Structures are given as structure tokens and as C-alpha cells.
Amino acid sequence: MGMRPPAGLPSLSRRSRILLVVAVVLAALLLVGPRLIGMYTDWLWFGEVGFRGVFTKVLLTRFVLFLVVGIVVGAIVWLAMLLAYRARPVFVPVSGPNDPIARYRTTVMSRLRLFGVIIPVAIGILSGLIAQANWVTIQLFLNGQAFGITDPQFNMDVSFYTFDLPFYRFVLNWLFVSILLAFVANLITHYVFGGIKLAGRAGTFTTAARVQLAVLAGTFVLLKAVAYWLDRYSLLSSGRKEPTFTGPGYTDIMAVLPAKLILMSIAIICALAFFAAIFTRDLRIPAMAVALLVLSSVLVGAVWPMIVEQFSVKPNAADKESTYIERNIAATRQAYGITDDKVTYQPYSGDGDAIPREVPADVTTIANARLLDPNILSPTFTQQQQRQNFYGFPPSLDIDRYDIDGEMRDYIVAAREISPNNLQGNQTDWINKHTVYTHGDGLVAAPANKITAPVLDPTKDNANNNNAGYPIYTVSDIASQDAGTQVIKVDQPRIYYGEVIGQGADDYAIVGGAGGSEAREYDTEQTKYTYTGSGGVSIGNWVNRLAFAAKYTERNILFSGAVGSDSKIIYNRDPRDRVGQVAPWLTTDGDAYPAAVDGKIVWIVDAYTTLENYPYAQRSSLDGLVADSVDATTGRLLPKKEVSYIRNSVKATVDAYDGNVTLYQVDDNDPVLNAWKGVFPDTVKPQSDISDDLRAHFRYPEDLFKVQREMLAKYHVDNPTEFFTNNAFWSVPNEPTVENSKENEPPYYVMVGDQETGAPSFRLTSPMVGFQRDFLSAYITVNSDPKDYGKITVLQLPVNKQTQGPSQSQNSMISDARVGSEKALLERTNTIRYGNQLALPIAEGGILYVEPMYTERSNTTTSFPQLSRVLVSYQESAKAGSRVRVGYASTLAEALDQVFDNGGAAGAATAPGGTATTEPPAGTGTTPAPTAPTTPTGPASSEDVSKALAEVNAAMDALKSAQQTGDFSGYGAALDRLQKAVDAYQALPPS
């Protein structure tokens, strides 16, 4: 019976080959073309913002890494195939007419160079593409600097674990991949060309096949020995004890660590056994060595540690883990910046025995109590300050502070931006969307403790209610600039870069002249504008126009008459995205906020350096740590990564007009930032370049504070036994204003009085409750003022004191009979929303809770939140029975009057200072209280008595005026003035 000879690959006709080549070229263009266009436009963009060095350095690092790994892996595979081919038998035995290998052997032999080159090249390219993503590991290894801190186990500098060890792991992993692929390639090549024949039970190997495979296998096992050695250091970031703590525990150090050394020794012996097979010609020895290694890894590497854990550690866990918990506490505090030199712990009684109006800090705190909630008022800002439908505000506004006429005050701030999602009808036409509606107009601010007027009766419609309960706006825009009425000075109010602008998928604008044409951009109802800033990439030449037309798949960029020789394209307009683009090695905060700095509107973006493998430090998911109730409702972007180290070492600014990005170093002692400065020199400016005006608007970032408060909830504990039992832990309270909320209560910026000077201080605060409890356990505050920026103060309440926490305070307020009855009436026609519940420490030991209540008309699309009522809760001291007093009124002044009366435990006759609810008349509440005169030695004259009585009458008039206008700040000052006037009168000697 005749047999058909083995056939090779089917041949293609000339036409088929041409079509195949064309198809491959088109596919390559479709795959590579967009990337090349993206690289070119990115190169232009990085040049525009002045960070082209970052782009080229990252690109060059990726390319070199691609080449090195690709060449090394491809070369090792190619060498393994070449050696197997050259050592092939001269006469290849055929196992009968149906030999399945013969056909493949013929095919390979007919295209030997093709198979010998294309396989290693393909593997090398794929490996290089995967490896180039690790450019951060390479650069940190090359530029890493010492931390000056050594670990307690191996006495190695922390930089070894954060900069060096990841690189060694990277190299080792790719050597593993290379040897494994080479082993497979060598094995298959020997098999195809007859070096290995599967005959009998074990098969046969030629000498060359046995030697080559033994060398590759021995090398692989030798690399495994190196991996065991490096595993010892990786134990310092072990997660075996999570969630109790991160880092090695007793079992890791006493059982796993010795096991790694034993396994390393066995792996070396196993590798030597493979190398010995070269001479012994017996594969049973390395096979037995491999079995020994596998068995040892199970017994020594897994079973033994499990026995130690179950029978030695768990019965005595608190004692066994004590040393390692201490290490975890020290490392975590260092890694998260909560060491004793940065955190001050102060005892706080929870009992307020002092009279608030006699404590200067309390007067300032209550006078600046914030009633406007930035997470609720965005619709109000939109309705009252939108001006045109195409403008908009972010869903969550921001808080900043300004010194106006010598008075420091916090403001709700927002930029009036172009909102691409608000464009309607013909406004969405390409010309209008991208060349007419290009920019926003102005900074809108409102004092955080003022409203237009109190709402007298929110259950009824009346003229007062229509204009009451709303912010008092300070606007810095084109109109105010032209009219010379700006309170917050802004020289250029036009906004081309912002959070709302960047929401669109194609958030680009084409600005600048078009060959001498008239101004096109909408500016005001009467005027048009032409952009003159330095921002934007020029599209005056056809190459750039073609590139951006392809990037956005928009032919109008090529053919529109609105695009001329002087035109620029502005894109990447979200401030956070711009910072993330120019500094890909930084993690940006979830919130950028606008500020008027040196006459410009700039976006301030906090940026962090982070590490995932700080030894012994607690590791946690960053997106979980910074999530809270605000994030859940606003859709705020959160970074998603594991961290065990974080520093806010960089403050970035983005000019709202020209998009310039500037990075400032604000932590000179961050070794991670110093390493990145070695990678990208001259990209981060020193602290000396920060202007005083800019520094005055720096806020302590919320995301960092959320991470630190979560760590402080556990790591304020010094005793490892208490740490293990969790008894002394705190918890972040759940959002109290939302029923059955499982989200964390967000921290809040507040303006409080400094305990030493009484001056206003801008801080970020958060109450903490007991572990899985509702009672208040601590109050954490961090300073944002330039003088004490970053100083964390923790007020610790006694464990035997049951001070009401946020949820309990909320329950006390809404359970009040007055609140319940009016709430039932309001809910018939209104939607009720509770604003931020602020916890304010006052009375040298007490906690005052202040919470605004907003109403919004139901069943109407034009309603927006209106501040209708203020709720106040205060727990009296233990001497007065720890009674909780609740205030509920249209103004904070009235609510405080209900809490601090003559019978109140605080001893305040009336409310001490507070929040203005209307704009005060000129001079009201601003007259400083005179210093009490010294007691005269002789009898008082009639003139002295008349002056004293006149001062008493003047103080009473000021008090009445402040009460009538609702000026609580002036009310407190007038009270203080009246008290001093009465004291002065009583101090007069008899006449």
C-alpha cells in the first residue's frame, strides 16, 4: 500500500500573498497608528506645559526596558533552540509510516530560519511589552536614597525593601520566565529533531538533550534558591496576620524564616543534582532531588508553620505576638506620618465647666461656626449664580479661607465653569461647542457662617422666605472686575481649565485667532473674546491639525474656517488629570479646589508619594480608606491602590486661565520624593518658591487625613496587649445625618479659635467614637495655617466618661418635640436635608454639635436647598447631671440661647458670640470692648459715673441692634462689651 509523503504548508498564489501583505499592513496601521498619533500629540502637550522631560524620560525608560527584557528573553529562548538543533542526531529514526512528528519536522526544515527567528522574536516582543510597564521599579532602584531607618529584624535600611528588593524580584521573575520558556523550547526542539524519543516507559534521550535539559532545569532550581533567599526579606511585608496587623508575626520569624533557609539549601542541593546528571547519565538522582524539594516545601514550608501557629502561638497569642506588634506600631506611625513629633495627645474631660463667652477661643469658634454645607449647596449656587445655562458648578463645592479687611473668614468657593453637559439645542453644534463656549467666568464665594436672612416660618410661603436662608455671594468675574466691586481680587476671571469643564469625553476647545477674523468666544452678552494665554497646543500647521483630527476623529478640525494659523487646541482640562499626566509618579487627592492667588484663579491639587511595601507598616487599600458618605453621593474619583506609606510632599497648582502646572515641594524629608527628583530633576520647585498668598490657601488634604485618622484609630495605642485585644481602639463614626448609613462621616474644615491666642485657625476635624460604640472617644484636628501646618492634635476623652457621639447627638436633636412637630409639617411640602454636623470643642472640656437643616420644595424642578433651621446639641457637665440640651431655631444665636441660659450647666447667661445670619449694619458688633479701668484711689467723680453709665447704655444699644439684625458675632462682642462696662461701673468707688 503506497503512502503519501509528508506535506509542508500550502503554497499561496502571488495575488494571495499581495492581499495578505496588504491586510497585515492595514492591521498594523490600525493597531499602531492611534498609538503613534497619541504619542505625537502627547509630545506636543507635554511641551506646552513645560514637562517634556517627563514624557521623554518615561518613554525612554519604557523603550530601554522593552529592548533589554525582550532581547534577553528572546536570546535565551533562541539559544536553547539553536543548541538543540545543532545537537540533533544525524540520522533521525522514524517510528513507522505513521510517525506524527515527521510531518512537523519536514515543515520546520523547509522554513528553518522562519521558525528559528520568528518564535524567539515573538516571545521577546511579548515579554518586552509586559516588562516595560515596570519602569517605576527600575527608576526607583537607580535613584533610590537611604531612609536613615533600619528594620529591627535584618538591620537593613528601609530603602532596600522599597527601592532595591522590588528590582531584584523583577530581575529574578524574568529570569524564571526566560529559563522556563527556554526549557520548553529546547524540549520541543529535541523532540521534533529526534533528540528525545518517546519509546517504552521512560523514553530515550540523546546525550546532548540530557545535558541541555539538565542544565536548564538545574539553573531554574538554582534561581528558586535565590527566590527563597529574597523571600526572607519579603516576610517583613507579610499579610499572614492581617487584619490584626501587617508584617511578620511570631510564626513568620520563628518558623517560616528558618524554613526559607532550609528550602534554599535543599534547592541548591537539587540544582547540584541536576548538574551532576551531566556526568552520571542518570536522571533518577535529580528526579529524587525534585521530589525532596516538593516534599520539603509542603512539610517545612507549610505544615511546620501551621503546627507552630496552632499549638504554640494561638494559645498564647498576646504574649507571642507582643514584640512584632510593637514593631508594627512603630513602623506604621513612621510610614503614615503620625509619630509623636507630629501628633500631640491631650486629655479632654468631656465636661465643659467654663463659661464659653469668657473663653476667647470659644467666642471665636462659635462666631465662625459654619452653617453652609458645600456638599448640599451646589444646586443653590447653580440657581442663583449660574447666569447662563451653559455654566455650571461641581456637585460638591469647596471650602477655603480669605482675609478680608483684616478679618479671617472661611468661605464656600466654586468656579463658574463651562459645563459641556449643559449645552442644549444648537449649542451642541461643533462650532459652538468647541470654539464659542470655551471658558467659564469667575470665582463665586460665600461666607460660610452667613445667610441673607433667617427663615421665619418654613412651613408657610411668604416674602421673607423667598429671600431668606441663602448664601451671601462674593463674585469675582468680568462684570465685577469692570465695575470695580471685587471683594476677592482677581485680575483674570476667565476659566479655561476646571473640574466641570473636564467632564466631557471630548473636552477640547479651539481658541485664538483664525487668520485675522473677529473674536468668536462667548464672554458676556455684549462681548466676544479671543484667548491670549500661553496655554494650548498650536494647530496652525497642517501636520498638527491632521494629528488632532485623527485623535478626536473630527474632520472639522481640518476643514473649519474657525481654525487658522494662530489657533490653539486646549485639552486635558481637568486639574487633577493635568497633574497626574505631568507627574505620573504621584497620586493625586480626590478633590481640587479653586483659589484666588496673587490676582489669578488657580486650582490647588494635593499630591502624594506612596509605597506598597514599607516593612512592618500596616497595609491597606487606599480607595477604602478615603471613602466616606460624601464620596458615595458625589461620585468623587478615588485612587485605587494598596499603600503602606504616604506623604503629602507635593502641592500642585493649575492656572485656570493658561493651564500652567507647577509642582511645589512641601516636605523636604521625604526620601521617596527625593528619589523621584533624581528621576525627574527640576520638575518640582522648592518651598522657597511658594508665595505667601499661595501658602495661605494650602489646606491639609482630606484624603490624607482620612487615612491618618483610620490609622490613629488603632495606632494611638502603645501597649501591644491592648492593641491585640482591640479594647482601646476607636472607630470613625457613621454618617449621623443619614439614617442607617454605613458610610464614614467625612471630616470637615472649620474655623476655630486658637486655645492660646483666641485667633481664628483653619483646621480639618473629625470626631472618633469607641470601638463599635457610639460614645465619643476622641476628637482629631489638624492645622492648615502656615505657622502650624500639619500639626495634629488628638483630644482624648476618658474611657469612663460617656460623652455623646455624633449619632447620639443626632438622635437627641431630631427626637426633640419642637423638631419633630415642625418636621412633620415641613415634610408635607418639602424635602428635608441635614447639613454637615460639626463637632466643636468649647467650654474647656465640652463638645457643641451644630447642624444646619435645609428644606427644598417638593414636586418642583426649580427649587433648591434653603437653610431653614439650625440645630444645636450640648451635653452639660457631670456636675449638672450630664443632661443633653437641644437648641432649635431659625438662627444659631437663638438656638444657642436655648442651650446656654441662666440655668444651663455652662453658666452662660446668653449665647457667647456666634454666627452672623445677615449682613450687619456698618459698625455693628465691630467696636472693641474697652479694657476695664483700674480702680481709682479716691472717690468717683460725677464725670466718671456719667462716663461709665454712658458706656453701659451704649453697650446695651449695641446688644439690641445685634439681636434685631441677627448679627450673632456682633451680639457676642456687644455682650462682652456690656459685661466689661458693668464691671467697670461696679468697680467705681463710692462718690
Residue 864 in this model has a pLDDT that exceeds 80: yes
On whether the CB atoms of residues 141 and 166 are closer than 8 A, the answer is: yes
**pLDDT for position 253:** 93
Residue 914 in this model has a pLDDT that exceeds 50: no
Alpha-carbon span 499 to 594, nearest angstrom? 10
Rounded to two decimals, the pTM is 0.85
Q: What is the pLDDT of residues 604-620, one digit of tens each?
A: 999 999 999 999 999 88
Q: Look-up: residue for cell 449664580? A: 385
Alpha-carbon span 590 to 10, nearest angstrom? 59
**pLDDT for position 683:** 95
Instruction: Tell me 859's DSSP state.
Output: S
Name the amino acid, one letter, at 267: A
Alpha-carbon span 409 to 402, nearest angstrom? 6
Q: What is the pLDDT of residues 506-518, one digit of tens each?
A: 789 999 876 667 8
**pLDDT for position 231:** 94
Burial (0-12, 13-18, 19+ Cβ within 10 Å), 279: exposed
Q: What is the pLDDT of residues 417-469, one digit of tens each?
A: 999 889 999 999 999 999 999 999 999 999 999 998 888 877 776 656 678 89
At 276, the pLDDT band (50, 70, 90 cuts) reads confident
**pLDDT for position 920:** 36
**pLDDT for position 162:** 95
Burial (0-12, 13-18, 19+ Cβ within 10 Å), 226: middle
At 115, the pLDDT band (50, 70, 90 cuts) reads confident
Q: Average the pLDDT over each of 317-321, 761-765, 898-902 and give the range with the smallest value.
A: 898-902
**pLDDT for position 917:** 43
Alpha-carbon span 966 to 718, nearest angstrom? 49
Average pLDDT, the chain: 85
At 201, the pLDDT band (50, 70, 90 cuts) reads low
| 243 upstream amide cis, omega within 30 of 0 | yes
Residue 808 in this model has a pLDDT that exceeds 60: yes
On whether the CB atoms of residues 299 and 291 are closer than 8 A, the answer is: no
At 863, the pLDDT band (50, 70, 90 cuts) reads confident
**pLDDT for position 513:** 76
Highest mean pLDDT pick, 292-301, 673-682, 800-809: 673-682
> What is the CB neighbour count within 10 angstroms for residue 75?
14
* % of the chain exceeding 70 in pLDDT: 86
Which residues does 588 contact at the CB level (< 8 Å), separation at least 6?
A: 576, 579, 580, 605, 606, 607, 608, 639, 652
CA angle 877-879-882, nearest 5°? 45
On whether the CB atoms of residues 151 and 158 are closer than 8 A, the answer is: yes
Highest mean pLDDT pick, 62-71, 111-120, 641-650: 62-71
Alpha-carbon span 251 to 238, nearest angstrom? 11
Residue 919 in this model has a pLDDT that exceeds 50: no
Q: Average the pLDDT over each of 22-36, 551-565, 779-793, 925-939 and give the range with the smallest value.
A: 925-939
Residue 906 in this model has a pLDDT that exceeds 50: no
**pLDDT for position 712:** 96
At 907, the pLDDT band (50, 70, 90 cuts) reads very low
Q: Average the pLDDT over each of 106-110, 129-133, 719-723, 902-906 and give the range with the smallest value.
A: 902-906
**pLDDT for position 97:** 55
What are the φ and ψ backbone dihedral angles of 816, each rounded to 5 degrees? -60, 140
**pLDDT for position 748:** 95
Displacement of CA 628 from its chain's centroid (Å): 12
Residue 843 in this model has a pLDDT that exceeds 50: yes
**pLDDT for position 348:** 93
Alpha helices (H) in 163-251, listed in sequence order: 165-192, 207-234, 250-251
Instruction: Write the DSSP string, 455-501.
Output: -S-TTS--HHHHHSS----EEESHHHHHHT--SS--SB-EESS-TTG
Alpha-carbon span 445 to 464, nearest angstrom? 23
For the chain, the 3-state helix, strand and coil shares in percent, each to the nearest 5, are 45, 15, 35
**pLDDT for position 411:** 96
Residue 779 in this model has a pLDDT that exceeds 50: yes
Mean per-residue pLDDT, 586-615:
94
Alpha-carbon span 779 to 796, nearest angstrom? 7
Q: Average the pLDDT over each of 246-250, 799-803, 955-959 and give the range with the smallest value.
A: 955-959
**CA-closest candidate to residue 785, choices 883, 682, 881, 700:** 700
Q: What is the pLDDT of residues 130-159, one digit of tens each?
A: 999 999 999 999 999 999 999 999 999 999
Q: What is the pLDDT of residues 656-701, one digit of tens each?
A: 999 999 999 999 999 999 999 999 999 999 999 999 999 999 999 9
**pLDDT for position 110:** 66
> What is the CB neighbour count within 10 angstroms for residue 638?
17
Compare 372 and 635 and report the one with higher pLDDT: 372
Beta strand 343-347 pairing with 792-796: parallel
Q: What is the pLDDT of residues 526-582, one digit of tens each?
A: 899 999 999 999 998 999 999 999 999 899 999 888 888 889 999 999 999 999 999
Q: Average the pLDDT over each of 86-100, 174-188, 193-207, 395-409 and give the range with the smallest value.
A: 86-100
Q: Positive or negative CA dihedral for 331, 335, 336, 337?
A: positive
Mean per-residue pLDDT, 61-74:
96
Instruction: Tell me 619's DSSP state.
Output: -
On whether the CB atoms of residues 605 and 654 are closer than 8 A, the answer is: yes
Compare 293 and 109 and report the one with higher pLDDT: 293
On whether the CB atoms of residues 643 and 611 are closer than 8 A, the answer is: yes
Compare 8 and 406 and report the one with higher pLDDT: 406
Q: What is the pLDDT of residues 726-777, one digit of tens each?
A: 889 999 999 999 888 888 999 999 999 998 888 999 999 999 999 989 999 9
**pLDDT for position 926:** 30
Residue 493 in this model has a pLDDT that exceeds 80: yes
